[in-house]
Structure 1
Amino acid sequence: MIATFEYPRYHTPWTTFRMPTSPRKDIERYLRHGQHDDFFRAWPGEDFLARAKCGDTALREALIATVRQRTRHATVPEALAGIDVVAFTRAKLAPMARGLFPRDEQETVLDVLGRSVVFVTPDTITTVLTATRSLSTAWDLANLYLEGCDAELLGPDARQIVGLSEETTCYVSAEYFRAPSRFADFVVHEAAHIFHNCKRRTIGLREVRGREWLLEIDFRRRETFAYACEAYSRIGGCGASPPRAAAAAGRPRSGNNAGGRSRRCPRVPRHPG
């Protein structure tokens, strides 16, 4: 079994949700608020499965069309041209895996981490929005992509995020390659959430002393843990070579996301202990 993690989501209160009376209105509500009727009652079909398939397909197609229309001139970042994403991810996350797991488990964990990252770009956005499990996650990822393209978000409920984890997949905005701040690395941040999302037996590891998940992390401290992994990775990376250390010691460039947090969820306060 694998759990799903998403940053806290802010819904329009259920009391304000009115049942759509037509597919067109269901599409309008979904595009604007990321909400839809879970029973797809406005959609044609002989039974629930037929209605759900019809509605799900139509909502995703409308979402993709809207996103494509708003990002007609978007391009893939030069930093991603020809990059081996698996090798890049393994190298980025290897220090974290080696620091948190015993030697005989490190390669297994790294294999999972290496395949975990998906950069949301013009080349991948259609596949991402089609393949993700839930419509609500697809809507969040559409806004993540729009934010990374400096395009208009879908609605007032859209969260300004640069990363999102679902099961063992980490979706990361192409904004990752633009002027990172001193301690920001949201590939590491999102990957850190895999440890409490994924059970050991799911990736072939045996349970140790009743430990079911890769890491048992208290729910209230999961964001703190992810930020700690992020900072540790940056400190280690900066210390790896004098030029990188010198570059990281300088001031972040002016402009958006100068602190590395403005487009993420608020920093979670540290808990004692």
Structure 2
Amino acid sequence: MTDTQPTIAQEVERYLRTGNTDPHHTAWPGGFLESAQRAHNDLRNALVSEVKRLAAGRTPRPVPEVGTVALTRQKVEPMVRGLFPRVEQDAVLAMLEKSVVFLTSDNIERLLREHAYDSSAWDLANLYLASLGAELLGEEAPLIVGLSEATTCYVSPEYFAGNEPFADFIVHEAAHIFHNCKRRTVGLPETRWREWLLDIEFRKRETFAYSCEAYSRVLEQASTASERRQLAADFGATVRISDERVDAAEVAEIIREAAAARNGWKVILGRCAPIRRPLSSLSISRAT
């Protein structure tokens, strides 16, 4: 061991405070696979222990006895119906309705131990601690109420305590699945140009999710076109988005445009789709 090589204790402490880990696991002895397994066990054991310590004495908000599948389908179905052709809707809904996991005291330890990625497990730990009003693991810990990875949405029980008229974290996180999930994952045909469920411009992914979230709430609360337009105006006058990746004024504009359209979901998708630049004549000639 060199003087500059960190110890296992130092690596564990760094992970607990930052969520960062050494991908080569140099502090742990053994070959790569052996050291990786030892690192995983030590890091996750420490994470679970620290979460239990910080959560001690705090009572988590109970999750209402509602069917998670039924609730999720109710929330995401309008979005799916508006964004996908009829022949694809059932396959997308079948995947989404099972995608939501509420973090509770009963499942948090299992989720932290089983998650494939160290950094994501750390984010889940902070998501759970935030739902308890407990101290987070580090100064840079994200203050979030939902997290989407691949085809799973992790949601805080604080979802049921929210009183913001245009907030719906289930819809927000489900919207991220569309650009994280490949079509073949849900049994849909895939081509070279249609690999993902929806093609969303990388820089617009959060804009897309915030727009879907707000528009879903507009539709839930409005029964007429004039009410949709009024709610869109109310959203534009009150919207506050702290996410630096998103222009709140742009989201407000998208919601106004969506509320005035026959299918506002298509408006949101169009505003967040990648810009397709036409091929030059030289490119076409080379392709030919």
Q: TM-score band, normalised by the shorter chain?
A: 0.7 to 0.9
Measure how far apart 1:21 and its partner are.
Answer: 2.4
2:193 corresponds to 1:210: yes
Query: Bigger relative contact order, structure 1 or 2, given CA contacts below 8 A and separation 6+?
Result: 1
Aligned residue in 2 for 1:21: 6
Mapped partners of 2:196, 2:70: distance in 1: 25
TM-score scaled to structure 2, two decimals?
0.76
Cα distance change of structure 1 residues 261 and 62 upon mapping to structure 2, 3 Å threshold: farther
Which residue does the alignment assign to 2:135?
Answer: 152
Number of matched residues?
Answer: 240
CA distance in structure 1 between the partners assigned to 2:124 and 2:4 by the alignment: 25
Determine if contact 1:184/1:260 at 8 Å carries over to the other structure: no
Judged with a 3 Å threshold, the aligned counterparts in structure 2 of structure 1 residues 260 and 139 are, in CA distance, closer, same or farther, namely: farther
Contact preservation (8 Å) 2:80, 2:89: yes
Where in structure 2 are there 5+ consecutive unaligned residues?
255-270, 272-288
Q: 1:74 to 1:259 in 2, by over 3 A?
A: farther
Distance 1:91 1:122 in 2: 25
What is residue 33 of structure 2 aligned with on the other side?
49
CA shift for structure 1 position 261? 4.7
CA distance in 2, matches of 1:122, 1:40: 30
Cα shift at 1:212:
1.3
**Aligned residue number for residue 30 of structure 1:** 15
* Residue pair 2:60, 2:131 contacting (<8 A) in 1 also: no
Contact 1:31/1:63 (CA < 8 Å) preserved in 2? Answer: yes
CA 1:180 to 1:266, structure 2 compared with 1: closer, same or farther past 3 Å? Answer: farther
Normalized per residue, which structure has more helix? Answer: 2
Counterpart CA distance in 2 for 1:195 and 1:22 is: 41
State the identity %.
52
- Give distance in 2, aligned partners of 1:61 and 1:240: 51
1:82 aligns with 2:60: no
Q: How many Å separate the matches in 2 of 1:229 and 1:61?
A: 37
2:51, 2:155 → 1: CA distance? 17
Structure with larger Rg: 2
Partner of 2:126: 143
CA contact (8 A) 1:76 1:123 kept: no
**Superposition TM-score, scaled by structure 1 size:** 0.80
Pick from 203, 206, 212: which aligns with 1:220?
Answer: 203
Structure 2 CA distance, aligned partners of 1:225 and 1:91? Answer: 20
Distance 1:97 1:208, change over 3 A: farther
Gaps of 5+ in 1: 1-17, 252-257
Alpha-carbon distance, 1:136 to partner:
0.5
Cα 1:20–1:238 change in 2 (3 A) is: farther
Deviation, structure 1 residue 207: 2.7
Aligned to 1:11: none
Instruction: Decide whether aligned partners of structure 1 residues 145 and 20 sit closer, same or farther in structure 2, where only a CA change above 3 A counts.
Output: farther
Distance 1:260 1:75 in 2: 30
What is the deviation of 1:219? 0.5
Q: 1:108 to 1:59 in 2, by over 3 A?
A: same
Describe the shift of the 1:176–1:20 C-alpha distance in structure 2 as closer, same or farther (beyond 3 A). Answer: farther
Return the alpha-carbon distance in structure 2 between the equivalents of residues 229 and 206 of structure 1. Answer: 25
CA RMSD of aligned residues (A): 2.7
